[in-house]
Structure 1
Amino acid sequence: MSVHTSSAGDERAGNGAAADKLGAVVAAGESVLAQRFGAQITLIDPEDLHGSGPASVVRAKVDSSPFELPRTLVIKHYPGELDEQPDPFATESASYQLFTALSPEDRVCPELIAHDGSRRVLVLEDLGIAPTLEARLTEHDSRTAERTLLSWARTLGRMHATTAGREPDFNALLRRLGAKTDQQGEALPVTCDRLTRLLREHLLVDTPDQVIKRVHRAATWVTSQEYRAFSPTDLSPENNLVTDDGVRFLDFEHGCMRNALVDVAHLRAPFAFWEGALALPPGMSEAMVAAWSAEVTGVWPGLDDHEALAEGLLDSQLICVWSQSVRVLPELLEDPVSAGTQRPAAVRWCWQELAKQARQLGLAGIAEHAELVAQALDDRFGPGIELGLYPAFH
């Protein structure tokens, strides 16, 4: 009997702590709204949305307000001290400010209603109950999934087109929040050196000098000033809502300005470095790239040239595959049993697609090296590892 009482007490304590946490987030949201509008705005019925990042994410109803506000709002409250750099609050706050300054038809994310740097709070428009892109891929409806993927690619293109040339604005917003304007991670040449060692030591694949030279050349190009626009960086399908007005992007905790073709390179093997990655049917990747391209050629007419787009995409794909592989492979190689076969198969898919695109452009050295890596991955985690299709395409 005493055990049962203790368990019930622990449960009540846990529920009380959760309620206190929700109450604290709501109170912070009300305070930021009062500061923004100069009047008390009461929020009720908080719902924990269980955000995947460091912030507490809560949906609440607007109970009373002298202003016209959406019926429900989303509050994101970040902890005061984070080891992560760049600071995800500053990055997300600057990102939402950048998009909220655009016209509603150009905004591909929720509107920022209010924010406060000292409290580390964002109050956002609530897009309501809508499926994510991940949900569409797991449903058994191939036509809906195809339409959603193409809508996602077009929305990504609109994001790039509307933020091209706005890097000074984004940097100014970051500086105002006390954040660094250089949002790049590890230097790409360092990534190159790390991956060549990893491939040699763990997969027994040597990297020819001509391949290393091409990677360094690609790194120089992708960090140049060409085709720069805003990138969410995290392109996982769980971070997109499929609303009546189209796909909307969420979670800009890693947003930055970079070469837009790095994002598009991910479409060669869409979402492959996401933990839940599965495969898409033949032709889907090409259709997504075409949908993206149709949105940006008005801003970057040079990309209307098929050869120029293919060349730029190959360099971006090279950097994407190398930088993402050096991020995920150490963990997979350290514990192959727990890794299973699907994640290694997704990484292998990326190297296979890189080989395919390189061979089409006549880059035999790049293609042969990528094929060797793909084969080594199959030898290590297989043999015969293949990435299954998303349920929507079964």
Structure 2
Amino acid sequence: MNDTVALAEAALARTSAPRLRLGDPVDLGGSARSQVLRCRVDVGERAGDGAGAGDGAADGLPSTVIVKRFLSDDGAFVRETAGLDLCPGTPDLLAQDAENRLIVMSDLGDLPTLADLLLGDDHDAAWDGALTWARALGRTTGSTRGRVDEARSRLAAAEPWDADADLRTGLDRLLDALPSTDDGQERRAAIEAELAAARHLSTPGDAAVVSPTDTCPDNAVLGPDGWRFLDLEGTEVQHAAFVAAYALLPFATCWCVFDPPPGLTDQLLAELTAGLAEHAPDVVAAPGWDTAVRQACAIYLVVVTGWLWKSTMAGRELVGPAGRSPSYRQLMVSRWRWGALNLRADLPALSAAFGDAAAWALDTWGPGVEPTGYRAFR
């Protein structure tokens, strides 16, 4: 921790505030890939010195900052710095150290997340918060259209995501959950043809935006000026339909996944689309927009099946924090059931496979894997 603080001070010294010193670091958890600290800001020769040292807030500087150090992933550092620079509605990037994969950013404080609202007791606050989150996400990503080329240039230094490989693995695992039949090869071919029809999303053209990608409920905080988005280490240039999929599914790759109440996701998609339309009206007005969003959802569902397969088969109880997340099996059944109900018109073969997988899971694992709703809407 002391080494990280020293590196952060050195990074700040190379900016316009060379006399900033950091003290009282608090570990905010991070992950296996990163260390995240909140540090008090002082001004002076050394944090805590008497004469010449003082609270940064008194000098018009922030009283605390967030320091994030990536421990093993050069690409995550590249993506997060690009996202902080290019996406509005995110913390301010104050300093960076590429050699040590470290960034210093503004501290937004201890604000409620969308996950807090959805898992709380206030129905109206959760419903209204989710809708304003969706509008803010659409507005934020839509506003980046003019910076797509810059983002691609900067992200070239990060190893690209092999989406095709993850899609193949996910399809293999989905088919593993289906009963063996004589028409197995025909069924696979039909699903592959439907997924191939969605490949246009990988070359988004004018529909490209810069997105944090991991726009989960716990990565959005609600402050006095509205929603702000955190954790940008997955920043990517992608088709806007993949952003919209987070509203329709909802929350495509997240741990905070419960069954939404009727009507919520339709309103979420409408709000996100309206936010996008402020900057990209041509994208959301295109005849194939609704189909593209459902295709993006289908891709996420297949990919997530592969990502979570081992933990799901092992029956791991918690996808996220204890008491705040479903089990892996509950999440997977919820996702498969969603695909079965919502993809019939555009991807009928894949929809049928999701339905059969959900039926197999309930028959194999029992009623204990039935998905439940968000606490705020029960």
Which of 45, 48, 54 is matched with 2:33 structurally? 54
Aligned residues: 354
Indicate conservation of the 8 Å contact 2:113/2:220, yes or no.
yes
For 1:216 and 1:306, how far apart are their aligned partners in 2? 20
- In structure 2, do the counterparts of structure 1 residues 284 and 44 end up closer, same or farther at CA, with 3 Å as the change threshold? same
1:362 positional shift? 6.3
Q: Tell which deviates more after alignment, 260-269 or 198-207.
A: 198-207
1:162 aligns with 2:147: no
Which residue in 1 is equivalent to 2:246? 266
1:141 positional shift? 0.4
Which of 63, 72, 75 is matched with 2:42 structurally? 63
Q: Deviations over 1:126-162 (max 9, x none)?
A: 1112112221122100111111111211121012111
Within 5 Å, which residues of 2 pair with 1:1-394? 21=1, 23-37=2-16, 39-52=18-31, 54-64=33-43, 68-79=60-71, 82=72, 84=73, 87-99=75-87, 107-174=88-155, 179-180=157-158, 183=160, 185-188=161-164, 190-204=165-179, 206=184, 207-271=187-251, 273-305=253-285, 308-333=288-313, 335-336=314-315, 342-359=327-344, 361=345, 364-383=348-367, 385-394=369-378
Considering only aligned residues, what root-mean-square deviation do their CA atoms show, in Å? 2.6
- In structure 2, do the counterparts of structure 1 residues 209 and 388 end up closer, same or farther at CA, with 3 Å as the change threshold? same
1:124 positional shift? 0.7
More helix by share: 1
- In structure 2, do the counterparts of structure 1 residues 366 and 24 end up closer, same or farther at CA, with 3 Å as the change threshold? closer
- The residue matched to 1:388 in structure 2 has which SS? coil
- The residue matched to 2:271 in structure 1 has which SS? helix
- In structure 2, do the counterparts of structure 1 residues 26 and 311 end up closer, same or farther at CA, with 3 Å as the change threshold? same
For 1:356 and 1:302, how far apart are their aligned partners in 2? 29
For 1:249 and 1:299, how far apart are their aligned partners in 2? 18
Opposite residue 204 of structure 1, the aligned amino acid is: P
Q: In structure 1, list runs of 5 or more residues that go unmatched.
A: 1-20, 100-106
For 2:107 and 2:332, how far apart are their aligned partners in 1? 35
Q: Tell which deviates more after alignment, 243-252 or 213-222.
A: 213-222
1:245 positional shift? 1.2
Opposite residue 210 of structure 2, the aligned amino acid is: F
Indicate conservation of the 8 Å contact 1:113/1:125, yes or no.
yes
1:213 positional shift? 0.3
1:306 positional shift? 8.2
For 1:370 and 1:226, how far apart are their aligned partners in 2? 32
Indicate conservation of the 8 Å contact 1:113/1:124, yes or no.
yes
Indicate conservation of the 8 Å contact 1:93/1:122, yes or no.
yes
Q: In structure 2, list runs of 5 or more residues that go unmatched.
A: 45-55, 320-325
Q: Deviations over 1:21-68 (max 9, x none)?
A: 2x3222222211111126321223322222235222221222226974
- The residue matched to 2:94 in structure 1 has which SS? strand
For 1:376 and 1:204, how far apart are their aligned partners in 2? 8
For 1:263 and 1:288, how far apart are their aligned partners in 2? 12
For 1:204 and 1:266, how far apart are their aligned partners in 2? 30
For 1:216 and 1:63, how far apart are their aligned partners in 2? 56
For 1:314 and 1:174, how far apart are their aligned partners in 2? 27
- In structure 2, do the counterparts of structure 1 residues 195 and 124 end up closer, same or farther at CA, with 3 Å as the change threshold? closer
